Amino acid sequence: MKIGKYSLGIGDRFGHQGEAQLRAIIKAAAAGVDIVPVWNKSNREHSYIHSKPTDTRIEADAAVKALSYSGDYYVDADHINLSNVSGFIAASDFFTLDVASKIGTASDDEQIAAFVASSRKYSGILNIPGIPHPFEVSELLLVSIAGKFLAAIAEAGHIYNFIKGQKGADNFVTEVSMDEVETPQTPVELFFILKMIAEQGIPVQTIAPKFTGRFNKGVDYVGDVAQFSREFEEDVLVIDYAVKEFGLPEILKLSVHSGSDKFSIYPAIASIINKYDKGIHVKTAGTTWLEEVIGLALAGGEALALAKQIYKSALDRQEELCAPYADVIDIKQDELPSATEVDQWSSEKFANTLRHIPGHADYNPNFRQLIHVGYKIAAEQGVKYTDLLTEHHLLVGSCVEENLYERHLKRLFGLNL
């Protein structure tokens, strides 16, 4: 299986917005850009929602059927490892091997020495075609890169081989992810990581490094956009060179685990992939759930009351809800509206505060991030929440579609802005 040039990791915590998201993809195709939808859901999400990987497959298949969509699509076992991959085997045909937690795990001296020896042809001054400045690769740097990443990539090899044994090599797409760490991988590290991946025999099609800057959940990028662009461009060129040097799949492309809504770096991504005519995979899972809350707020009545209830409970249970996301949220306490304040809000005020329109007077990223991590509260509401989604599916679906098309796809793929 070979994934198309442009692909989008779409997400749907409660499994109700498959069609709405696919409508945005179909709209982009009509505008001239073919994007492969990849339904992704991590083990963590499944455990909070009490859903199963097969539910994601059912949702994707149903949406594809309902809209008579004839393009490729995938179901991603997102951020899996050896301990939880087996539950995803049957339903998924895209696997994101998450080896971030193994970065820095010690490898034995012999393996390190072997890697350094086989990398010697790249030591000294390393020129990557297209990158104007050479990289200095010392023996010490090679030892340090091997020490940091060999064990992690060996782990990716174990996971890949397990999946291959279960599904057969040609029946799935492989991504390797290392994004959930604090320290970004440099372009030169990425080059040697790709060498290790090739040596493990992993036919990687998408690779998700940690990029520079903060990728907080559901809000815009925080960091130096110019530096991001520089590194992103170098990563693209590193991949190009690594594909040729190490015999990796030609399709290999960067995967940006965006945490959603990284609007300020979308134009940089768009211009660099255009410049080099490269593909891209962007995961933008979380916003769908927020659009559901926006849609419910706009519906008014009982649905607005539930949207407010979700916020108020999230406010009470902040510590618990934020803990698993500590590294990817920045909530300013004194900018969170109080429960009594929110109680007074109209549908529009609530929706405008939550909806991500940078520069809108009501938009509050702190409010947005807190609701973002509060999906557990909606999950606890069970059918009360999902029945309201069903009741207001037209309104909610239009919010989901508009968000994905207008705010994401248009910016990412330069569609008639």
Binding interface with Zn ion (CB under 5 A): 179, 257
Neighbours of 44 (CB within 10 A): 13
Give 19 or 98: the residue with its C-beta nearer to Zn ion. Answer: 98
Residue 267 beta carbon to Zn ion: minimum distance, rounded to whole angstroms: 22
Residue 210 beta carbon to Zn ion: minimum distance, rounded to whole angstroms: 9
- Of all residues in this chain, which one has the CB nearest to Zn ion in the complex? 257
Give 58 or 100: the residue with its C-beta nearer to Zn ion. Answer: 100
Taking the C-alpha atoms of residue 301 and residue 127, their distance in angstroms, rounded to an integer, is: 63
Give 45 or 179: the residue with its C-beta nearer to Zn ion. Answer: 179
Closest residue by Cα to residue 211 from 176, 146, 174, 258 = 258
Residue 54 beta carbon to Zn ion: minimum distance, rounded to whole angstroms: 22
The three-point CA angle 25-31-35 to 5° equals 35
Residue 9 beta carbon to Zn ion: minimum distance, rounded to whole angstroms: 9
**For the chain, how far is it from start to end, CA to CA, in angstroms?**
33
Residue 115 beta carbon to Zn ion: minimum distance, rounded to whole angstroms: 26
Q: How far is CA 147 from CA 31, 116, 123, 183, 317, in A?
A: 47, 10, 16, 15, 40
Do the beta carbons of residue 204 and residue 96 sit within 8 Å? no
Taking the C-alpha atoms of residue 177 and residue 99, their distance in angstroms, rounded to an integer, is: 6
Residue 225 beta carbon to Zn ion: minimum distance, rounded to whole angstroms: 20
Taking the C-alpha atoms of residue 65 and residue 62, their distance in angstroms, rounded to an integer, is: 5
Taking the C-alpha atoms of residue 179 and residue 78, their distance in angstroms, rounded to an integer, is: 12
Helix, coil or strand: residue 41: strand
Give 283 or 410: the residue with its C-beta nearer to Zn ion. Answer: 283
Q: Which residues is 173 bridged to in the sheet?
A: 94
Taking the C-alpha atoms of residue 212 and residue 352, their distance in angstroms, rounded to an integer, is: 30
Give 93 or 179: the residue with its C-beta nearer to Zn ion. Answer: 179
Residue 178 beta carbon to Zn ion: minimum distance, rounded to whole angstroms: 9
**H/E/C letters for each residue in 177-212?**
ECCCCCCCCCHHHHHHHHHHHHHCCCCEEEEECCCC
Give 178 or 404: the residue with its C-beta nearer to Zn ion. Answer: 178
Give 142 or 282: the residue with its C-beta nearer to Zn ion. Answer: 282
